[in-house]
Amino acid sequence: MRVFRWPVRVYWEDTDGGGIVYYANYLRFLERSRTEWLRSLGFSQQQMAWEPGVLFMVVNLSVDYRRPARLDDELFVTCEPRADGAVCMRFAQRIERGAERAPLVSAEVRVACVDARTLRPTKLPDPLRLVLNSPSEGAPAS
């Protein structure tokens, strides 16, 4: 699968009083990258919640913080998805700084598909499973 790469800028609200990105805000960047990956493929999470009636929930997360990001940094958040059974997806993700792609954060995220009404596990929608199992899926890496 191709690596999806999404740009983001660090704003004041992302940082602590010293202008360093607050550790929990990296999770927001990771989440947004997964959402933008879906959007790049034509999937809307809001629409998927209505039809076929599914939501995605993080069920496991492992994060390694290597270097801090700072106010005004240009970051790139990568997302490399793969199927993990009938219900789950795994994402290898990284946050890098600028053109030099200095590694700041790496994460492994496991996401489960659940029924929007009952919140019980359910199979990934067929169109998404097809994308996950396609070797050339995804928006072009930049």
CA angle 88, 60, 22 (to 5 degrees): 130
- The whole-angstrom distance between residue 27's C-alpha and the CA centroid of its chain comes to 9
Catalytic residue positions, numbered: 16
pTM of the model: 0.90
142 residues of the chain, pLDDT tens digit each: 689 999 999 999 999 989 999 999 999 999 999 999 999 999 999 999 999 999 999 999 999 999 999 999 999 999 999 999 999 999 999 999 988 889 999 999 999 999 999 999 999 999 999 999 886 644 444 4
Set out the domains of the chain in order of their start, with CATH numbers. Answer: 4-132 (3.10.129.10)
**To the nearest 10°, the Cα dihedral for 88, 51, 55, 3?**
60
Contact 54, 115 (CB under 8 A): yes
Order across the sheet with 74-84: list the strands. 4-9, 74-84, 88-97, 102-115, 54-65
3-class secondary-structure state, position 97: strand
Contact 83, 112 (CB under 8 A): no
Element (H, E) at 53: none
What is the distance between the alpha carbons of residues 54 and 48, in angstroms, rounded to a whole number?
6
pLDDT on residue 2: 82
